[in-house]
Amino acid sequence: MSTRSIPPAEFAVVCGSANWGLRFPEDLEEPGVAVVARDLEFDTPWGPSRDWKILEIDGSKTADGQKRTVLTVFSHGWPLDRIDHEANRRVFWLLQEAGVRKVIACSTAGSLNRAIQERDFVITSDILELTQTQHSLLPSRFRYDCSGKQLVCPHCAAVMERSAKALWPTDARVFGPRAQLVAAHAWGPRLTSPAEITAYRTLGADFINHSLAPEATLAREIGACFVNCAFITAAFQNYFAPPEVNVLGEGVLSDMKFTASRIALHAIAAFESDSGCLCASLRSLQPDSHAERR
């Protein structure tokens, strides 16, 4: 199915490796969550973006008692037939067109810290992305200033932590905003080398993946609140183990993907529409004179 206009929605779940191997959300059979449309494709200024779904969450499940429309896209909008780092920009341009105000980004991650183990659920508080995405959505250098502060919404992170603590297995941990974790970025798709792990750890990051940072930046650029829904599949120690040891822990994804996916649905239903956070104001207009007086 192909269409040219994206429907209005305040909420979005950008799926990722945390949801690989299941149909999100159909396979969860979550009460009160319906798939209105699937296999949607939308045009963007940078080409089509595929594998979108429109979900509806029943008012009996939402924070404000109102029916909630949620947009969701398969695995960061990554195409199936090539590596394409621009996919994030197409996704967030569509979220902007839809009027999305709150975004959950799902992913898995590698630990940069001995204390953060595989199967732990990690909500980041800051981003370490030294070059930032080259695929910015800002119209120019002269229209907006985008702050690097509070890239993760405190309201959304608190809701995510509550949702995770209610469902995550008790033999693993949930790291919420109080842990002040820092997420680093590498584009991938190759997994991070031992030397790179040592470097990112030295720089102060606690875990790393291929998607979270550019998505946080793009959420700021569209003035939306952002939080991640992620868990650790690669333990810090695994990066330094002999080559025959798989960095990605055995069975972690298959064990945790259903629970993580359900947490994303519960959190997106529980967000307050008007959460009183500063996120939207952290993208601010520059004076017209910056572009006009030249």
Binding site for Zn ion (CB under 5 A): 153, 225, 277, 279
Among candidate residues 257, 218, 255, 237, the one with its CA nearest the CA of residue 18:
257
Q: Which one, 33 or 153, has the nearer CB to Zn ion?
A: 153
Alpha helices in 222-276 (DSSP H): 252-270
The CA distance from 197 to 23, in Å, is 32
Coil, strand or helix at 60 = helix
Report in angstroms how near the CB of residue 243 gets to Zn ion at its nearest.
Answer: 43
Report in angstroms how near the CB of residue 189 gets to Zn ion at its nearest.
Answer: 30
Report in angstroms how near the CB of residue 152 gets to Zn ion at its nearest.
Answer: 9
The CA distance from 36 to 41, in Å, is 14
Place of tokens 């603590």: 165
Q: Which one, 55 or 225, has the nearer CB to Zn ion?
A: 225
Q: Which one, 117 or 150, has the nearer CB to Zn ion?
A: 150
Report in angstroms how near the CB of residue 226 gets to Zn ion at its nearest.
Answer: 8
End-to-end CA distance of the chain: 47
Q: Which one, 248 or 282, has the nearer CB to Zn ion?
A: 282
| 214, 105 Cβ separation under 8 angstroms | no
Report in angstroms how near the CB of residue 16 gets to Zn ion at its nearest.
Answer: 20
For residue 70, what is the DSSP state? E
Q: Which one, 22 or 282, has the nearer CB to Zn ion?
A: 282
Alpha helices in 140-244 (DSSP H): 154-167, 194-203, 212-221
